[in-house]
Chain A
């Protein structure tokens, strides 16, 4: 699926279901067989706003405007409402008619969109925004002003509690710091406004939610806000028919949406980038976009989508890792490979009371399971090498990945696993012949995995076999994504006698011994997490801190105060300090190994051979991205990416 259809450097954190290529997958619709996550990668949320300026240009081609581009998509957008975006598919569609306000072209450089400039003050507590002049709304709402932005912020996005008439789902992103205080916004000119951060944020370029946020004209929102009529606003034809996009704010205009079939766009001749941005770095927007029409063709069946790619009826489709070999050397298609997906996958271990206690009690036991799981073999055999190994909760190409000497590796040695198992368990456990016994006889562990994914199935079967070599019996249950979340990931103090000391929510109902899931489990496969590689602290805080809102595993330890480190890192005033804190923390996480870290995502996209100018390094089969910020960004194509004229 089209890479680059992302949510700017500000990444929504998502639980991921292992896709065919362990690719990132949108949250919404990421739950059942009918949804995208089990299928080839959907619109990925990785990548930055444009090409890496250090990448060498690809082959020269005479590029002119024209042609129709058809993308195969296995996911469904939920609406065209810019205020109700909860999945990457929907945001990717809306992104065709509304540019993002801004992005990052590398780790430190702001990439303009609607915002002409974005400046963070020294001390990292104030941000000054300036809009381009002449940004036109669709309909009769004139030009975009700072007042439009700040009105939406103060009347839709930042509201909480009883005042919250709209129920926007991303409000929490605007409350930051240890005390969750709001960012304050103030208009300073017709096209300028300022944000005051309650805490210092050196990496705010990668955390600023406004860079991934859309808004609508104040004059449109105000009547509904005054009436408190959220439902009315959602059903207004200005939103449902995407009239807002008929100005110059995006590369395309909305044409039509045939539900369960296709969504079509036509080239916007008034696209603001041509005049307002033009050439920037090695990107040239003076003629963009290059397609006359852009169509997303929906498929519910992956095989149909791949067949359509082979016959040329679609021009781009995501390829599951099991099918990549079918396309290598194919005469009519080329492959775009990117090892820079920010999805992180691991073997989940249950630290709660309804799991096997030594998993929680002993690091050595976790090492033993890790050696049995043997992540490197899993990557080679289950994922056909199309995954990037990692040893901690951060992609190995990310800016905070510790050096190898500071990471714990698992060589996949069964003999070592045996000795770790014996050393990590009490005297009640031990080997009797080849079998590993506990107080109730041979140890039996229960595994649960997601359905519909061959890679996960292979991995689980391999682990079962390896556990058997360790003398441990195991059972595997395959569950639908929603069932997995509901019965295994969610936990509740109602399942344990007594009241919990604290409770955070459905995914962390209390301490490990005071809140457990409905169903018993020890090991879970198929669930991962997306993490913003340049601003990973929130992901770590929500998953690994004892009171993290998403610490469904019940992980806790006394050695390292993750919460404190996260707090210090996320509010550090310099990049060097952030680097030092985060690297140290990731090193500890590797050593403590709450889960068996396996790999980060690897996206393979198939394209029609007539598409040229892809960013990255040329390979025998097509191209390969050389940086996280390199994406197939068809929403804002530069002269490096367009279709050759037939």
Chain B
């Protein structure tokens, strides 16, 4: 009963925190200047018309003429009834916009997350077990490269190298043209050839690699640190004394303990890096995903379009933290929330 009550309270908190985040976002958007309004006034003035009237017409057209509280209440009711509004900038419903955009984001974010989790943890664990050995140094180079390199620059460089230079270059007489990757993401390819087609996978390689670099580095550094904390502990020494191999000691003893704090960063850090990085990735590679959707919504002052994805991502992060906390009780039986 204690645990169920804990979960119920956490879910209630999730709803409240999501509402708070959305209200703040709504307020910030309401306060920000409207580029469309400015443009309408500008155009009217240049045509010899009435700039103020043009502004009023624009506000009326997109619903900004209503009082703030009326707009807020309309929006709140809409959220609950799944009428998330109409996107002025995309000329479609917000749910349709999100529905169209999320598959494009998911198809590179998911592989990237899986890749960075397994490879990042793997490299970190290996580095921790082989501290100060050449393999550990190699891992650190990868980690520092990933943390340091700006995603934006890295993406453009990869495009130049694999997209443009490979077209005409040869190495040791071998033409690189067969290895050329597309310069941008063609959104028609998954529709016409399939989401799992070779053509689609080929154009996802670069975005996945770029997105993976930063979060892989973070995963690696954290997991290495955790292994180093436990590698000289008494229970590990005992396991080795009883004849356990490196692999046995790592996976049977160290990993279990290290996973508790590592799950802590899985939701927060990874999701944060992923969502922040996805905007840059989608901008450079022209992927019509959620990152682009939110960004364009903000720059076009398209309130409805911004609030939908913010709701989803806020809810995911907060709910994800709940799952994370519940996982602790599985990973570490000593953790119990029933008395909270």
Where the two chains meet, the residues of A that have a C-beta atom closer than 8 Å to any C-beta of B are: 12-15, 27-28, 30-32, 34, 76, 78-81, 86, 167, 169-173, 230-231, 234-235, 240, 258-262, 264, 295, 297-301, 303-304, 307-308, 310-311, 313, 482, 485-486, 505-508, 529, 538-539, 541-543, 548-550
Contact = CB atoms under 8 A, between A and B. Distances in A.
B332 interface: no
Interface stretch (B48-56, B119-127, B194-202): B48-56
B283 A170 contact: no
A262 B188 contact: yes
Contacts of A307: 159-160, 163-164, 183
Interface string B35-72: 10011111111111111101101001100000000000
Most buried by A among B38, B49, B183, B299: B183
Contacts of A240: 91-92
B39 A28 contact: yes
Given A86-B40, A234-B91, A311-B163, 12 more contacts: A31-B35, A32-B299, A81-B91, A167-B57, A258-B187, A262-B187, A299-B184, A307-B160, A308-B183, A485-B38, A486-B33, A505-B51
B25 interface: no
Given A258-B288, A299-B184, A485-B42, A173 B283 contact: no
Interface of B: 33, 35, 38-52, 54-55, 57, 60-61, 86, 89-92, 97, 100-101, 156, 159-160, 163-164, 167, 180, 182-188, 282-288, 292-293, 295-296, 299
A113 B242 CA distance: 90
B55 to A, nearest CB: 8
7 contacts: A15-B42, A79-B91, A172-B48, A303-B156, A303-B159, A304-B286, A508-B45
Name the residue among B91, B182, B188, B295 with the largest chain A CB count within 10 angstroms.
B91
A86 B88 CA distance: 14
A308 B163 CA distance: 8
B286 A80 contact: no
A122 B55 CA distance: 40
A80 B182 CA distance: 29
A611 B158 CA distance: 28
Nearest to B43: A27
A25 to B, nearest CB: 13
A297 B156 contact: no
Contact of B286 (A297, A486, A541, A548): A297
Contacts of B100: 258-259
Nearest to A259: B90
Contacts of B284: 300-301, 304
B192 to A, nearest CB: 10
Q: Chain B contact residues: over half helix, strand or loop, or mixed?
A: helix
A20 to B, nearest CB: 17
B88 to A, nearest CB: 8
A28 B58 CA distance: 13
Given A172-B49, A507-B51, A34 B296 contact: yes
Residue of B46, B187, B282 with most chain A CB atoms under a 10 A cut-off: B46
B101 to A, nearest CB: 8
A124 to B, nearest CB: 20
B39 A31 contact: yes
Contacts of A78: 89, 91
A507 B184 contact: no
B45 A507 contact: yes
A170 B40 CA distance: 11
A313 B184 contact: yes
Interface centre among A86, A260, A485, A507 (most CB of B within 10 A): A260
A388 B282 CA distance: 37
Nearest to B166: A311
A83 B57 CA distance: 14
Given A86-B39, A169-B57, A549 B86 contact: no
Contacts of B92: 240, 259
A532 to B, nearest CB: 12
Contacts of A539: 46
B42 to A, nearest CB: 6
Contacts of B183: 304, 307-308, 311, 313
B45 A549 contact: yes
Contact of B44 (A31, A169, A304, A482): A169
B337 to A, nearest CB: 43
Given A258-B188, A485-B38, A311 B167 contact: yes
Contacts of A173: 47
Contacts of B156: 301, 303-304
Contacts of A542: 45-48
Contact of B38 (A31, A81, A169, A308): A31
A80 to B, nearest CB: 7
A482 B35 contact: yes
Contacts of B49: 171-172, 549
A541 B47 CA distance: 10
B38 A15 contact: no
Contacts of A169: 40, 43-44, 54, 57
Contacts of A258: 100, 187-188, 288
